[in-house]
Chains A and B, each alone.
Chain A
């Protein structure tokens, strides 16, 4: 059996583990670290429920080997809120009713976070395109789009405030 020592930084904390080469990143996150906010949906690279950020880019963690993430930075839904304060994206999903069953939500938020990091002022079409790798079977997407728009406005307002002060 091929075992490898890896150090993967998840939500700012470095974790060193001895793992099998075939361990998928999503299983590393959920089973080794007990961070179960990252969901497993389709298990076939289709649904995006397992989306996390790998060195800042949204990836489907069911389709990345954990060994590939050795030495890299991973961010999961658990790392999104800071100091007990919800991130504007989380607030947006709350305010705009961007979820019903909630299963796709962590993946949606991670995809949207990557989108807003590259494009702070996305059009509605760009948002829809940005989350097109994430499936939601409840909302029909409209409320999710509104949630991301809410977050973009909030983040831009916060940025303006920071510049003003």
Chain B
């Protein structure tokens, strides 16, 4: 399994990377950690004419809080999320995901930006970032723009990035007071994609849920929010019945495909159960 031939560039600055991407727009792919792209190329599912390797862009490796959000550079390795005190202190949903993405060796290469830009509904960050109401920063020849995560995923493996744009940063709004989050994933084995996984970020006002966003992994062709489940929680006291209703809503609104990981009914039911678990875990972490 040898990939097809391709032209290769390894720019050392973002500007250079953007200009290469502009020159080769249409036939070029960005190579970030490569943990999805390289297997796809080896199976000849992808055969880009040109690869622009941005592994030398250390300027895109950072995790910092600024202007009311957590800014994550696109080339931040998944392993760095696991090691970040900032993430562990306040961004529990993200910290949960960082423990279960692929396996520990893959996480040393895999990047947060690559995980999102690949826009695979089986990847973990799409649901996480949907739950956080994150923003994606893209840089192209005409400058920088931000894309709301709700507008980012447009189809299977398709997102709102233009052919000449590079995803450079992910911005997660700093959680409001009395907020908590959790990511709960069911997988057959370490390193496999989720059977289903649920990302929850919610805010409480006393005992009442004042805000909630829920993202689902690998139970739809396009990464999705469980909007009915969110509505089942918002404005309610989070009793067992309300949490059960949210789980039922998520199980019914998701749209899984049957495969080796399970039947449609099984995946719906797992999504129901995981939604309940994630909501409960999020409530326990409210701070």
A45 contacts across to B, CB distance below 8 A: 35, 38-39, 106
Say yes or no for A21: interface residue by CB 8 A criterion.
Answer: yes
Say yes or no for B109: interface residue by CB 8 A criterion.
Answer: yes
Cβ of A68 and Cβ of B103 under 8 Å apart?
A: no
CA distance A2 to B53 in the complex (A): 14
Say yes or no for B3: interface residue by CB 8 A criterion.
Answer: yes
CA distance A132 to B100 in the complex (A): 11
Q: Distance (Å) between the CB of B112 and the closest chain A CB? A: 16
Which A7-60 residues sit within 8 Å CB-CB of chain B? Answer: 20-22, 24, 43-46, 48, 51, 54, 57-60
CA distance A51 to B106 in the complex (A): 10
Say yes or no for B259: interface residue by CB 8 A criterion.
Answer: no
Cβ of A43 and Cβ of B42 under 8 Å apart?
A: yes
Q: Distance (Å) between the CB of B74 and the closest chain A CB? A: 16
Nearest CB in chain B to that of A22: its residue: B3
Cβ of B6 and Cβ of A2 under 8 Å apart?
A: yes
Contact of B2 among A4, A22, A46 (CB under 8 A): A22
Cβ of A68 and Cβ of B53 under 8 Å apart?
A: yes
Cβ of A64 and Cβ of B105 under 8 Å apart?
A: no
Which residues of B are at the interface with A, using a C-beta cutoff of 8 A? 1-8, 10, 31, 34-35, 38-39, 41-42, 51, 53, 55, 77, 79, 102-106, 108-109, 190-191
Which residues of A are at the interface with B, using a C-beta cutoff of 8 A? 1-2, 4, 20-22, 24, 43-46, 48, 51, 54, 57-60, 63-65, 67-68, 70, 111, 114, 129-130, 132-134
B77 contacts across to A, CB distance below 8 A: 57
B109 contacts across to A, CB distance below 8 A: 54, 57, 59-60, 63-64
Contacts between the two chains (Cβ within 8 Å), count: 89
A132 contacts across to B, CB distance below 8 A: 103-104, 190-191
Cβ of A57 and Cβ of B34 under 8 Å apart?
A: no
Q: Distance (Å) between the CB of A64 and the closest chain B CB? A: 7
CA distance A159 to B35 in the complex (A): 36
B79 contacts across to A, CB distance below 8 A: 57
B5 contacts across to A, CB distance below 8 A: 1-2, 20-22
Contact of B6 among A21, A54, A70, A134 (CB under 8 A): A21
Contact of B38 among A51, A57, A65, A129 (CB under 8 A): A65
CA distance A36 to B234 in the complex (A): 59
Known: A20-B5, A21-B51, A63-B35. A57 touches B10 (CB 8 A): no
Q: What are 15 A-B contacts with C-beta separation under 8 Å?
A: A1-B5, A21-B8, A22-B6, A22-B41, A43-B1, A45-B35, A45-B38, A48-B103, A54-B109, A60-B109, A63-B34, A63-B35, A65-B31, A67-B53, A68-B55
B103 contacts across to A, CB distance below 8 A: 48, 132-133
CA distance A22 to B1 in the complex (A): 11
Nearest CB in chain A to that of B1: its residue: A43
7 smallest A-B Cβ distances: which pairs?
A: A133-B103, A21-B8, A133-B105, A57-B108, A132-B190, A22-B3, A2-B7
CA distance A115 to B109 in the complex (A): 15
Cβ of A65 and Cβ of B34 under 8 Å apart?
A: yes
Cβ of B105 and Cβ of A59 under 8 Å apart?
A: yes
Among A21, A45, A60: residue with most chain B CB under 10 A? A45
Q: Distance (Å) between the CB of A117 and the closest chain B CB? A: 12
B3 contacts across to A, CB distance below 8 A: 22
Nearest CB in chain B to that of A111: its residue: B105
Cβ of A64 and Cβ of B34 under 8 Å apart?
A: yes
Q: Distance (Å) between the CB of B23 and the closest chain A CB? A: 15
CA distance A65 to B55 in the complex (A): 11
